[in-house]
Amino acid sequence: MAESQNTSFSRRPALASNTVPLPVYGYPSPANAFPYANNNQRKNSWCGRCCCLWWFIGIILTLAVLFVIAVVAFCLITRPELPYFAIDSIAVNGMNLTSSSVISPAVDVFIRADNGNNKIGIYYEKHSTAEIFYRDVCLCNGALPAFYQPTNNVTVFQTVLKGNGTKLAERDRRALVNAVAKWSVPLTLKMRAPVKVKVGLVRTWKIGDFVFDCDVIVDQLTAQAKIVDTDCSYGLHHS
């Protein structure tokens, strides 16, 4: 009996288990997790840069228009005009043409400057240049005096030009001797002077170089030289 009970409660064999492997998918990278969001960020960044560029262009154009308006208003109010320059007289010393040695002439030039502006004063600054040529040969050089010329003013100033051992070619010396004999010596005066202007109480920065070029004919190369004819031009060169 005991054996039969043991037989009835004996363990059953374990059932075999079937394990089905499931595919394992990796997590997407952060860059690929939300592609739509990344595209929106790139679009927003590009739009932001584009808007900044258009704002910058708009500001530049606005400033340019305001500058043009200011210049036009300034010209209408002040009506600026260039000063009138002319040579009053020339005195030549130390011009010895009897020998082929070097020459060191000294030339005193008196210039008449007429500032006809009603509201603009003119500053003629330092670092100016002045030269006298015969043909292409520089005979002497120097500088203009620095001074301020008020509105509606005429100033006659002197500049002394000195040569420093200039040696003329024989053909130039002979041509100059012949010109003196004919009482018609052609010379060329070239002047450059940096200028500033004053409008009311406002003094500007350097606005350019006042240029004065003059072809002048004198009767002789002495201190008593007289001007026979002149052909002058002047203007403002912006640097």
Specify the number of domains making up the chain: 2
Same domain, yes or no, for 140 and 222? yes
> In sequence order, which ranges of 157-206 are alpha helices (DSSP H)?
170-181
Model pTM score: 0.70
Same domain, yes or no, for 67 and 116? no
Confidence label for 17 from pLDDT (cuts 50, 70 and 90): low
Mean pLDDT of the chain: 84
Same domain, yes or no, for 111 and 177? yes
**Residue from 168, 155, 161 nearest 191 by CA:** 161
Q: Domain range holding 60?
A: 31-78
* Per-residue pLDDT reduced to its tens digit, 27-65: 555 555 545 445 555 555 666 677 787 888 888 888 888
| Residues 144 and 212: beta-carbon distance below 8 Å | no
- 10 located within any domain: no
Same domain, yes or no, for 123 and 195? yes
- 14 located within any domain: no
> Terminus-to-terminus CA distance in the chain, angstroms?
131
**Residue from 161, 91, 85 nearest 124 by CA:** 85
